[in-house]
Amino acid sequence: MAARDFAGRTVDSYVRAFTGGEVAARDIVDGLMDRVARAAPFNPIATLDAEGARAAADALDARYRQGAAFGRLAGVPVSAKDLILTKGLRTAFASRVMKDNIPTVDADAIAQWRAADAILFAKTTTPEFGHKVLTDSPLHGVTRNPWNRDHTSGGSSGGAAVAIALGLGPIAMSTDGAGSGRIPAACCGVYGLKATLGRVPHEVPNDQFGQLT
């Protein structure tokens, strides 16, 4: 099947399409990469892992052919803020100091996504160490509002909000200590949810928000 553009579809729509045989996971990813390329002027992506995403999709397709059971996010392309640890995929904290940092473990929330058969394809932009409510950094540059490039995307999870607004997957993982997920969601016209404190493990060392992220 030709690559499909699933922009705007819900999480359960992705899962049903893949598990029901409507579309292969590889086709979802190939269509997504076309959209990622078109989103470049808005700069939501800190690190793109096209090769890893295609490999994960191919593995899902192989399991589908074998009649395997799947997790609740099977075939769903997801991205994670560049402050969240991702095994084997650069987590630079938008800092030149950390630009070569490749974690050896996943954050627990990422591990849960992988266990649910989601396809991690990118890390999204943030200000350096997520320290402000604008999204720009010396390492990644400025992330632009998806509706008007002269306006801000908000922050510090600006890349996550812009990615969702531009159809780069239906969900993105952010962090939020004092509005870092909700502010860019408001600026970009998408939903930003902050989990109840204690719901999601926070493995990163103490930060300026006193573990409120």
CATH number at residue 141: 3.90.1300.10
156 is catalytic: yes
89 in any annotated domain: yes
92 in any annotated domain: yes
Q: What is the mean predicted confidence (pLDDT) over 5-21? A: 94
194 in any annotated domain: no
Catalytic residue among 81, 123, 137, 174: 81
194 is catalytic: no
Catalytic residue among 79, 157, 180, 194: 180
32 in any annotated domain: yes
Residue 171 to residues 18, 114, 150, 206: CA-CA distances in angstroms?
17, 14, 25, 26
Q: Which domain holds residue 172?
A: 24-188
19 in any annotated domain: no
**Dist. CA 147–CA 129, nearest whole Å:** 26
Provide the domain count of the chain.
1
In sign, the C-alpha dihedral spanning 212, 92, 146, 75 is: negative
Among 18-27, 76-85, 157-166, 192-201, which stretch is predicted with the lowest mean pLDDT?
Answer: 192-201
Residue 200: its pLDDT value, please? Answer: 84
170 in any annotated domain: yes
Percentage of residues in the chain having pLDDT higher than 90: 86
